[in-house]
């Protein structure tokens, strides 16, 4: 019956069943009621848990972010400190380098002075030695010549004259 309705008769024959038992309204109400009562509780607790978990995750992420920020600040501080220290060390090393240089220069100057002195002394000594040697040589040569002269020209006459001269000299010495 009514196998093919035409396209234009969609509304035809549609009615409302008001039989409460036949439409199963009471059972459905009970079912929906229980479902809302029990399922609603379960669902809401489920959703609350989920939301709390998301909140916790967000909170965790936030905390980690803050922690990381703190760490960055700390690290920056450390960096500043290290920079200051490095500057200090650099200045110190510069000062010590300058000090070392002057020290070294002074020492070298002193060394040079000392060496100069030593040189002067050595030269003087050598001079003296040379002079002494020359004197010795000269006096020996004179003596040698004198001895030679004596050997060649010494006779009793000369000897007597010398002795007389010496006696006279000694006599003069005694007079004075």
Partner 1 sequence: MNLYDISSVEVGEHFYWTIGDFQVHGQVLINSWIVIGILIAMAVLTTRDLKAVPEGGQNFIEYVLEFIRDLTKTQIGEAEYRNWVPFVGTMFLFIFVSNWSGALIPWRIIELPNGELGAPTNDINTTAGLALLTSLAYFYGGLNKRGLGYFSKYIQPTPILLPINILEDFTKPLSLSFRLFGNILADELVVGVLISLVPLVIPIPLMFLGLFTSGIQALIFATLSAAYIGEAMEGH
Binding positions for partner 1, rule: CB under 8 A: 1-7, 10, 12-18, 21-28, 30-32, 34-35, 43, 46-47, 50-51, 54-55, 58
The burial class, CB within 10 Å (0-12 / 13-18 / 19+), for 27 is exposed
Q: Closer to partner 1 at the Cβ: 54 or 105?
A: 54
CA distances from 13 to 1, 4, 21 (A): 13, 13, 21
Q: What is the closest distance, in whole angstroms, from the C-beta atom of residue 2 to partner 1 in the complex? A: 5
CB of 71 to partner 1, least distance (A): 25
Tokens 């020492």 found at? 107
> Among residues 40 and 100, whose Cβ is nearest to partner 1?
40
Instruction: Quote the least distance from Cβ 66 to partner 1, whole Å.
Output: 17
CB of 24: closest distance to partner 1 in angstroms?
A: 5
Residue nearer to partner 1 on the CB measure, 12 or 155? 12
Measured CA to CA, the distance from residue 161 to residue 26 in angstroms comes to: 187
Contact 12, 5 (CB under 8 A): yes
């Amino acid at each position: 019956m009514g196998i093919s309705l035409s396209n234009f008769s969609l509304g035809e024959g549609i009615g409302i069943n008001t039989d409460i038992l036949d439409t199963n309204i009471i059972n459905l109400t009970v079912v929906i009621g229980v479902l809302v009562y029990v399922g609603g509780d379960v669902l809401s607790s489920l959703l609350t848990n989920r939301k709390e978990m998301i909140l916790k995750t967000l909170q965790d992420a936030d905390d980690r972010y803050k922690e990381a920020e703190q760490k960055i600040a700390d690290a920056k501080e450390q960096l500043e400190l290290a920079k200051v220290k490095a500057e200090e060390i650099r200045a110190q090393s510069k000062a010590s380098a300058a000090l070392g240089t002057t020290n070294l220069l002074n020492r070298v100057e002193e060394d040079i002075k000392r060496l100069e002195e030593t040189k002067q002394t050595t030269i003087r000594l050598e001079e003296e030695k040379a002079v002494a040697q020359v004197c010795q040589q000269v006096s020996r040569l004179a003596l040698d010549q004198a001895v030679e002269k004596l050997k060649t020209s010494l006779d009793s006459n000369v000897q007597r004259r010398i002795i007389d001269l010496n006696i006279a000299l000694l006599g003069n010495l005694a007079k004075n």
